[in-house]
């Protein structure tokens, strides 16, 4: 007696194909590499920044809004911010021209108001560095022969100290700039700072107050 051949069930084959497709998708997902974090590099020389997570501000009579001393792993370093220049916090024999230049930037401030602005910037910087955590990025680019080095000081919100000073009208966009640790170009960051400066000017903050 001949047995009847069983007909294949189309839905069974369809189910198998769906399972195979689903399994392939899961396999591909597990093979994907995690997103890479941009390497901290700078400029055409592509020098890697040194990153300091536990640097601490130390008291020094010469600390001001854009330049200050910190201790890191038992050594003292003096940093100078990229992009931002704060007014001088006191008048001495050699900085009269610089004070005039800084005052003119903010629309013609008197020398006394310019010095007061520098003192305000110094207090602002000290408060941020003493009361909040931050990360220092430096590639050890020297500031002339002063023993200082340029650096970014970045807070947990992702913004660096230079931007915060410009936003509050406490610094002019001036001095050396560079590509940021995450790869953002100096030109792009300069545009960002100019937008913050326009905001500060419109709001009459800091040196833009009238």
Q: Compute the distance between CA of residue 174 and CA of residue 158 in angstroms, rounded to an integer.
A: 21
10 belongs to a structural domain: no
31 belongs to a structural domain: no
For residue range 123-172, what is the model confidence (pLDDT) as tens digits? 999 999 999 999 999 999 999 878 999 999 999 999 999 999 999 999 99
For residue range 55-90, what is the model confidence (pLDDT) as tens digits? 999 999 999 999 999 999 999 999 999 999 999 999
Q: Compute the distance between CA of residue 9 and CA of residue 30 in angstroms, rounded to an integer.
A: 33
Q: Distance from first CA to last CA of the chain, Å, rounded?
A: 108
Q: For residue 75, what is the domain's CATH number?
A: 2.40.50.90
45 belongs to a structural domain: no
* Band (15; pLDDT cuts 50, 70, 90): low
Q: State the virtual CA torsion across 123, 205, 132, 141 in degrees, nearest 10.
A: -80
Q: For residues 7 and 26, which has the higher predicted lDDT (pLDDT)? A: 7
62 belongs to a structural domain: yes
183 belongs to a structural domain: yes
Q: What is the DSSP letter of 206?
A: G
35 belongs to a structural domain: no
Provide the pairing of β-strand 149-154 with 135-138. antiparallel
21 belongs to a structural domain: no
Q: Where are the alpha helices (DSSP H) in 51-172?
A: 96-105, 111-131, 161-167
30 belongs to a structural domain: no
Per the structure, how many domains does the chain have? Answer: 1
The tokens for 148 are 């200082």
The tokens for 210 are 């009238």
Domain that residue 148 falls in: 50-208
């Amino acid at each position: 007696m001949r047995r009847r051949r069983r007909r294949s069930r189309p839905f069974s084959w369809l189910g198998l194909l769906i399972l195979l497709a689903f399994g392939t998708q899961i396999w591909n997902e597990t093979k994907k590499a995690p997103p890479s974090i941009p390497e901290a590099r700078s400029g055409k020389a592509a020098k890697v920044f040194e990153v300091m997570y536990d640097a601490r501000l130390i008291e020094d009579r010469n600390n001001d809004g854009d330049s200050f001393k910190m201790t890191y792993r038992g050594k003292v370093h003096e940093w100078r911010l990229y992009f931002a220049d704060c007014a001088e916090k006191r008048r001495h024999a050699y900085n009269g021209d610089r004070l005039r230049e800084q005052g003119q930037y903010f629309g013609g401030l008197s020398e006394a108001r310019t010095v007061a602005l520098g003192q305000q910037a110094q207090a602002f910087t000290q408060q941020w560095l003493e009361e909040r955590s931050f990360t220092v990025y430096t590639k050890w680019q020297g500031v002339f022969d002063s023993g200082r080095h340029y650096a970014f000081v970045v807070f947990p919100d992702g913004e660096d100290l230079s931007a915060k000073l410009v936003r509050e009208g406490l610094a002019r966009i001036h001095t050396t700039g560079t590509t940021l640790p995450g790869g953002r170009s100096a030109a792009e960051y300069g545009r960002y700072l100019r937008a913050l400066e326009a905001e500060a000017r419109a709001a009459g903050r800091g040196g833009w107050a009238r």
